[in-house]
Amino acid sequence: MPAELALQDYDASFAFPSADHPIMQGVGATDLRWWAGDHRVVAKTMHLPSRYNVRALASVGSRSGLNLAAAAEVPLGAGGLLCSQWLLTQRFDQEPMAGVLLQRLLNYCAPTYPRAVLKPIALVAETNAAATAKLAELGVLAENVSGRLPGLSPTFYPVLLIAGGSNAWQEATARLADLATYVSAGGKLLLHKPTAAFLSAAQPTLFPELNYTDAQLGSVLRREVTNPAVRLANDDLYWIDHAGDWQHSETLSTNVSGGSFWLYSNGRIETSVRVTSAGNYTFEVIAAGTTAAGVFPQVAITVNGVYRTNWFLTNTAMTRYTFTLYLGVGTNNLGLVFLNDANPAGEDRNAAFDRVTLTPDTASRIVNWSFNLVWKTAVVQWEGLPFKPYEVRVCTNLAGALWQVATNFIVPGNVGSWTDTGFGGVPPLSPAAPQRFYRVRQSGP
C-alpha cells in the first residue's frame, strides 16, 4: 500500500461505487449501505492520496468531499495492489453483498482475469520544461517522445500531451500530419498553452471547423500575470435592458435589488414560482427586523394571495426560519408580507428579507416496521445521519388529512427509532384506532 494511502479512524455505513471498475459492475449505491449486523459497511476508511495512480472502487464522503475510499486499486506494471477496508470476512455470513464482493475480489486477483494495464502518456516537452517537472512531481506515468512522433501508436500511448517551450511547438508544427494520424487512430491529443504559430498552422489539419482567438477578457477574477488589474463596475450588477448602438448608449435595467430588501410599512414583495411536482416544500426564509415598543415585526408567507403561515421575527440580525408548506403543480405567486408596522415615540418597526429558498421535502427511507399486538405499539425505524434532528409525522388519510408531528429529536446514530404508544390518545392496533400512515423527515441542518 502506498505510504500516502493512509487509514483513517473513520467508520462508514455507506459508500459510493465506481461504476467503471470491473469489480463494481452492477453494484448500486443501495448495495453499499446498512449491511446486516450493526449496519456498518467500512471500518477505518482509506484516505486517498492527492498525487498517485490510485483507482477508487468505492468512495466515501467527508466534510472535505469524496476524499476517502472503502476499497482502492494501485496499478503496478501488469499487476497491482487491491486495498479493501470493507467488512467482508466479518459480514459474509450475514450480509449477502459482503459475500458477493469477497468473491469478486478473489476472482479479480486470478491470473486469467482481464485487467486494464497501466499505460504511460506520451509527452513532447523539453527536459527542463515546467510541465515535465510537474508531471514527475505528481507521480504521473509519462514518457518523453520528442523526436519520435512518426508512427506513434495510441495502443501504447493513449494520450499525447504537448506542453513544452518553443522547441516542442516547432516539432509539433513540423509533424502535423503525424499528429492527425495519431488522432485518427483513436489517440487523445492535449495541447497545453499552444503558440499562435502552431494554432495557425494546425487549424486546417486538426480542427478546420473551429476558430480560435487570442483575446483579452474584460472582467476577470484570475490571471496568470503579476499584479493583475481586476475591477467590477456597478453596471456589472445589472442586466442590460436595451443593447446600445453607435447612436444609442446601453440602457441598464433598474429592477435588480442588491443586498437585503426592507419593508418600511405594511406590504408585500411577491414573485412567481413554477412548481413541477406537487408535495411538501421546506421554505427557508432569511430575515431580520427592528423593534418598536418591544415588539418584533410580524411577517407571513402567502401563496397565490392566501396566508399560509405567519410568525414574529426574533432577531435584529439575519436569522434562518423554516416552514413546511404544501404546493400544487403550476405557477404559484409567492409573497413575503410585513404585517405590524409601527413607529411610536421615535421608534420604527421594519422588516428585512435577505432570501427565501424552497426545497422539496424528501422523506427519509423507513427500513423497518414492527408491531406488538399485546402492548398495542408500533415501532418505526429509518435511515438517518448521526446527530441530525428528525421528526416523525402521522396521518390518518392520505387523501387529504393533515400530517401531524408526533415527535422531534436528535438521532444519535445511523438509524433512528420511534415507538407509537398512542398518538392522539388512541393506541395503534386497538379497535378504536383509525388507520395510520407514518413519514420521517430531517427537520433541521
pLDDT tens digit sequence for 198-230: 999 998 888 888 777 765 544 444 444 444 444
Q: Number of folded domains in the chain? A: 4
Of 65, 87, 108, the one marking the end of a domain is 108
Query: Which tens digits make up the pLDDT trace of 148-204?
Result: 999 999 999 999 999 989 999 999 999 999 999 999 999 999 999 999 899 999 988
Cell of 191: 495541447
What is the average pLDDT score of the chain? 81
Q: Is 224 exposed, middle or buried (0-12, 13-18, 19+ CB in 10 A)?
A: exposed
Helix (H) or strand (E) holding 183: helix 176-184
354 and 297 in a common domain: yes
Which secondary-structure segment (H or E) carries 166? helix 166-174
The domain boundary, picked from 56, 75, 108, lies at: 108
User: Same structural domain for residues 94 and 135?
Assistant: no
> What is the tens place of the pLDDT at every residue in 241-286?
444 454 555 444 444 446 567 888 888 888 888 887 777 788 889 9
Full domain range(s) for residue 175 = 121-206
Which grid cell is 107? 476472482
How many Å apart are CA 29 and CA 401, to the nearest integer?
34
pLDDT, tens only, 386-432: 888 888 888 887 666 677 888 877 888 888 888 888 877 788 888 88
Q: What is the CATH number of the domain that holds 318?
A: 2.60.120.260
Identify the CATH number of the domain in which residue 402 sits.
Answer: 2.60.40
The Cα 52–Cα 76 span in angstroms is: 11
Burial class (CB in 10 A: 0-12, 13-18, 19+), 58: buried
Alpha-carbon radius of gyration of the chain: 31
Query: DSSP for 332-400?
Result: EEEEEEE---B-GGG--BEEEEEEEEEEE-PPPPEEEEEEETTTTEEEEEEE--TTEEEEEEEES-TTT
Compute the distance between CA of residue 67 and CA of residue 61 in angstroms, rounded to an integer: 6
Q: Does a structural domain hold residue 275? A: yes
pLDDT of residue 315: 94
Other CB atoms within 10 Å distance of the CB of residue 2: 15
Q: What is the pLDDT of residue 445?
A: 63
CA atoms of 48 and 59, how far apart (whole Å): 9
Whether 8 is in a domain gets the answer: no
Q: Which residue has the cell 410585513?
A: 338
Whether residue 355 is found in the same domain as residue 418? no
